[in-house]
Structure 1
Amino acid sequence: MNKKVKISILILMGCLAITSCGKKEATPTGESREINEQTSDSEGQTEAVSNVLVIEGNDQMQFNTKELRAVAGKPITLTLKHVGKIPKEAMGHNLVILQEGTDEAAFATKAIAAKDTDYIPASEKASIIAHTKLIGGGEEDTIEFTVDKKGTYNFLCTFPRHVSMMKGVLIVE
């Protein structure tokens, strides 16, 4: 590695270390309109499933949940909030929901080369159900989409090197 790359990596690591060592700030949750349906699990217990979803990403490259649930055939409103402080150029987050059967690792590899399109590879458009824009600390993005087919759909952040820690599943029931 050349000297500039090493210095850049050290600065980024220092920023990450500093921001991850402070006290956690509580983020206020605003009122949200929820669309609820009742579903029964295998034991006959009911639980509410909402098609208004909120997920947070932070400066430690983590989503606050690994699982989202929604009802098939109804509009889904998904909000991604970046609760950190680092700008998107250094710690950007997005959320991409992939079609069932998409090779997550191959998709992420192609995404790394798609900097000009916020790490959303145009060649993989058919593999994407929906995606947010790339956001930085303090920003949020809300998208609306519908998934008609019940199933489990992988989601991930495609910012370089985030996919190893920032991924989960959307379960559509």
Structure 2
Amino acid sequence: MNIVKSLAGLVLLSAALPALADECTLTIDSNDAMQYDQQELSVPASCKEVTLTLNHTGNLEKKVMGHNWVLSKTEDMQAIATGGISAGADNDYLDTSDERILAHTALIGGGESTSVTFSTEGMAAGDDYSYFCSFPGHIGMMKGKFVITE
């Protein structure tokens, strides 16, 4: 009887694991109208790593309407975006040596997807984080809050 209970417990635990993992996996869409489909993304503080997938649901090429997803403290967003312009398209409009960048995806064009997995070490619930697109001129419309919940 104990074996049956143990097996039942393992089955329940294994069923719960994907749900826990899903809390740490995010998806956001972008389009040809310079928009993300979400203005806020959140993960629980229990997530030690987060995987974010960015989809570009539009049709325009990367050089015309490319999008990426960049995470930073809110106060650092504009400076990172401005510095990224001089880095150019070949560097996804990001100075990747900028330590204020907490995570970022590659720059993609219409019909493409990309993902990034990043550690939340050093990030805390209650701190002010935001995400944005660093393609020149996009930060004005393509930005949102990244929240770590208790």
Query: How high is the TM-score relative to the length of structure 1?
Result: 0.68
User: Any conservation in 1 of the 2:50–2:119 contact (CA below 8 Å)?
Assistant: yes
Mapped partners of 2:143, 2:106: distance in 1: 16
Alignment of 1:30-49 (within 5 A): 34-35=19-20
> If each structure's helix is expressed as a fraction of its own residues, which one has the higher value?
2
Change (3 A) 1:96 1:121: same
Mapped partners of 1:63, 1:137: distance in 2: 13
User: Any conservation in 2 of the 1:152–1:171 contact (CA below 8 Å)?
Assistant: yes
User: Any conservation in 1 of the 2:54–2:69 contact (CA below 8 Å)?
Assistant: yes
Alignment of 1:81-160 (within 5 A): 81-98=55-72, 100=73, 102-115=75-88, 116-124=90-98, 126-148=99-121, 149-150=124-125, 151-160=127-136
The number of residues matched between the two structures is: 127
* Greater shift in the superposed pair: 115-124 or 134-143: 115-124
Cα distance, 1:101 vs. partner? 5.5
Mapped partners of 1:110, 1:122: distance in 2: 10
Cα distance, 1:80 vs. partner? 0.3
Mapped partners of 1:65, 1:95: distance in 2: 12
Structure 2: gaps spanning 5 or more residues: 1-17
Cα distance, 1:73 vs. partner? 4.5
Answer yes or no: is 1:63 the counterpart of 2:26: no
The one-letter code sitting in structure 2 at the alignment partner of 1:169 is: K
Give the fraction of aligned pairs with identical amino acids, expressed as a percent: 40
Query: How high is the TM-score relative to the length of structure 2?
Result: 0.77
